Amino acid sequence: MITTIHGFSSPEILPVYRKYNRKTFYVSISDADRSPDLDYIATVHHGIDLKLFTFNPNGGEYLLFFGRIHPEKGTRECIEVARRTGLRLIIAGIIQDREYFETQVSPCIDNDRIRYVGSAGPKERDKLLGNAFALLHPISFDEPFGLSVVEAMACGTPVIAFPRGSMPEIVVHGETGFLAADLDEMVRLVERVGDLDRKKCRKRVEDRFCVTRMVKDYIKVYKKILGVSAGHRIRPWGRLETVCEKKGHNIKRLTISPGRCIDLCREPDISGYLLLTGGNAIAKGEGKKEKLEPGCSLNLLEGGWHTIKNPGKTEAVFLDVVDQPGKTNHNIKVNVSGG
């Protein structure tokens, strides 16, 4: 099971993600949007369909705000940048905070220097983004990704953003736009937008943020989990690798991550043992509890379950030696109750 986390709605949702940590494989949509409480198998940035965005090599003369109208997205700050630079501003997006719009945005709209065009569909979006001089993105929160930023660059339009959240992963400062420390710097950087090559904006999206690249990245994640490319299988509790598989014997390496727990059962008519080669472990089975150190071996009874937990801070590594490779070595599942 792969779960892509598209941002966290609030801190209150984290206990749910922690509950299923290492029981599913988490994918983040940016490195900035990772929680230190969770384990991730990969970061896969969003990808857009480039056929929906027309490259405009020239751009236009207006600044653009494109997104939901909310204090954390910085609509009022964009109005201030337009006022101080003398450039026109077009505002496009849904009104998410009505009071903010009525008190901070609407009074500034004159349908000349400051225009509000509402929510833009795909065709209007393409024209608005492509004909803009620059997209302003003065966010005041750690944005998980920011599709409008990528969409603007796909049309060749540079982006000036505050360096919050994923922005440093998307915008290349001085190449596809600028990362401004504050509003004063954003105003100054508007003057430098004309020095940027709009072709590089488009190329950045083609290389890093197109849908084809996103699909390839997810396939890499699937292969990593299945062990197709790496020659071993990754599990939420650790890794399972084939060391040797020949007639007469079969050896696998079983790596249990710190704090994780698994259940093992040897199928009938299969003989062999587990040898701990690194780390420490605790084995429970048949009413017995045993502490294992490197060099200790464990015989799994036919048809009986053993629970093995790694209580340490380093990986516990076992060699699973089986005498009859023609049959399944053992069944392994995540011990949910054991975490």
Q: pLDDT above 90 covers what percent of the chain? A: 68
For the record, the structure tokens of 84 come out as 């101080």
For 98-137, how does the pLDDT look when each residue is reduced to its tens digit (9 = 90+)?
Answer: 999 999 999 999 999 999 999 999 999 999 999 999 999 9
| Helix ranges restricted to H, 86-180 | 98-100, 122-130, 147-154, 167-170
**Assign residue 78 a region: left if phi > 0, alpha if psi is -120 to 50, beta otherwise?**
alpha
Quick one: pLDDT at residue 233? 66
Q: Which domains does the chain have, with CATH numbers?
A: 2-47+213-226 (no CATH), 50-209 (3.40.50.2000), 237-334 (2.60.120.10)
Phi, psi of 269 (to 5 degrees): 70, 15
Each residue of 238-248: pLDDT tens digit? 888 888 877 76
Give the tokens for residue 306.
Answer: 């053993």
Helix (H) / strand (E) element for 76: namely helix 75-85
Where does the pLDDT of residue 268 fall: very low under 50, low under 70, confident under 90, or very high at 90 and above? low
* Residue at token pair 């290492």: 22
Q: What is the dihedral of CA 325, 331, 332, 334, to 10 degrees?
A: 170
pLDDT band at 208 (very low <50, low <70, confident <90, very high): very high
Residue 86 has pLDDT above 90, yes or no: yes
54 is written with which tokens? 């027309």
Work out the burial of residue 72: count CB atoms within 10 Å of its CB; fewer than 13 is exposed, 13-18 middle, 19 or more buried: middle
Q: What is the pLDDT of residue 29?
A: 97
Res 216: pLDDT: 97
| Whole-number percent of the chain with pLDDT over 70 | 89
> Mind listing the pLDDT tens digit for each residue in 69-82?
999 999 999 999 99
Is the pLDDT confidence value at 10 over 90? no
